[in-house]
Amino acid sequence: MNPRIRDLLIGLTALIGVLGLAAMLFLFGEFQGRKTYELHIVLDTAQGLTPVSPVTLNGVRVGQIKSIGVAPDPRDGVTMRVGIFENMRIPRDIELAIDRTFVGDATLAMRTPLAIGGRPAGEIEFLEPGDTIHGTAATLLDQIGSLLDQRLSSLDRAVDSFERLSDAYVRVGERVEDLLAPRTLADVDAGASPPNIYTAVARVDTVASELRRWLGDETLRADAQRAVAQAANLFEEASTALETWTETAQRVGAQVDQIGEQTAVAVADFGEFARSVGVAVEEVRMVVGALNDGQGTAGQLLKNPDLFNAMTDAARRLERALLEAQLLVEKYRKEGIPIQW
């Protein structure tokens, strides 16, 4: 083959390969001709980020880092210029993290808190072009530690509950041991030690021994039988007395009913008498009122002193005339002069 034709074919093949690579990079690679706006981010560390590292929001790529540099004051960390796709809006209260895979470059990850995701879009405040975001980058290890803390918090609560339960069982065991500790009845009676199950069993055993001794004594058993018989007789007498008291109560109740009826009649009579007395008092009141008003002869006597004095003088004269007439009659009788009426 002609060397010139061969070199031409080789050059065309290489050119086609370069053009194909450029097309694939344009379609599927990092180079995209989308418009962006800038945001400034201040982090404590960059940890693997490069000026071409991607930027994601909740796992979706929204731009890439344009530049990274140390802050004017190194204690502030690093500053970054980030290009965000023009149609992407970033919430103002986002959380920043650095996602670093085991194989590949690091990614600046933005995450929205759950509170933002649960609110209507109108209540979310978004960043404007040129705004600055301050934050602390959480690495993969920090994220793993946070997840472990969240998972272990429930385990810590379970451990605390188990410890409280263990303490409760220890206290119960100590109390049970105290209840079963051997003690003497003498110490308990003297107040040196509190009673427990051991002393209670000992006391029950003592009572059982006394009971067996009492059951074995014929004299005590005969006394008990007599006491039981007397108690039975006393119970019968009490029953009889109770029946008698019941009959007496019934009779008293009947008499009380009769007395109640008689009392009702007496109360009715007293009411009639009270009404009569009321009428009489009213009449006396009327008479006294008439006397006070000067009505009638009695009223004139009370109100007119001259009339009273005149009547008194007339009564005295009448009394003297009657006395003289009596003396004259006596004189005529003594002289024997008959008097006919």
Model confidence band, residue 116 (pLDDT cutoffs 50, 70, 90): very low
Mean residue pLDDT of the chain comes to: 76
Which pLDDT does position 317 carry in this prediction?
73
Nearest to 140 by CA among 244, 219, 47: 47
Percentage of residues in the chain with pLDDT exceeding 90? 11
107: which DSSP letter? E
Question: What distance in Å separates the CA atoms of residue 44 and residue 46, rounded to the nearest whole number?
Answer: 7
Burial of 230-247, coded b for 16+ CB within 10 Å and e otherwise, reads eeeeeeeeeeeeeeeeee
The answer for residues whose C-beta is within 8 angstroms of residue 59's C-beta and 6 or more apart is 109
Model confidence band, residue 16 (pLDDT cutoffs 50, 70, 90): very high
Which pLDDT does position 273 carry in this prediction?
65
Question: What distance in Å separates the CA atoms of residue 247 and residue 224, rounded to the nearest whole number?
Answer: 35
Which pLDDT does position 341 carry in this prediction?
53
- Helix, coil or strand: residue 127: coil
Question: What distance in Å separates the CA atoms of residue 248 and residue 10, rounded to the nearest whole number?
Answer: 143
Q: Reply yes or no on whether the pLDDT at 34 is more than 90.
A: no
Average confidence (pLDDT) over 253-274: 67
Model confidence band, residue 151 (pLDDT cutoffs 50, 70, 90): confident
Q: Which helix (H) or strand (E) holds 235?
A: helix 218-293
Question: What distance in Å separates the CA atoms of residue 325 and residue 307, rounded to the nearest whole number?
Answer: 27
Average confidence (pLDDT) over 304-322: 68
Q: Which residue has the higher pLDDT, 249 or 95?
A: 95
Average confidence (pLDDT) over 292-312: 59
Model confidence band, residue 142 (pLDDT cutoffs 50, 70, 90): low
Which pLDDT does position 117 carry in this prediction?
46
Q: Worst-scoring range by mean pLDDT, 169-178, 229-238, 314-323?
A: 314-323
Question: What distance in Å separates the CA atoms of residue 265 and residue 268, rounded to the nearest whole number?
Answer: 5
Which pLDDT does position 68 carry in this prediction?
92
Q: Where are the beta strands (DSSP E) in the chain?
A: 36-43, 54-57, 60-70, 78-85, 95-100, 106-111, 132-134
76: which DSSP letter? G
Q: Worst-scoring range by mean pLDDT, 13-22, 111-120, 161-170?
A: 111-120
Highest mean pLDDT among 5-14, 51-60, 142-151, 214-223: 51-60
Q: Worst-scoring range by mean pLDDT, 73-77, 117-121, 329-333, 334-338?
A: 117-121
Strand partners, 38: 83
Does the model's pTM come out above 0.75?
Answer: no
Residue-wise pLDDT for 183-241, tens only, equals 777 777 787 778 878 788 887 888 777 777 766 667 766 776 777 788 778 878 878 87
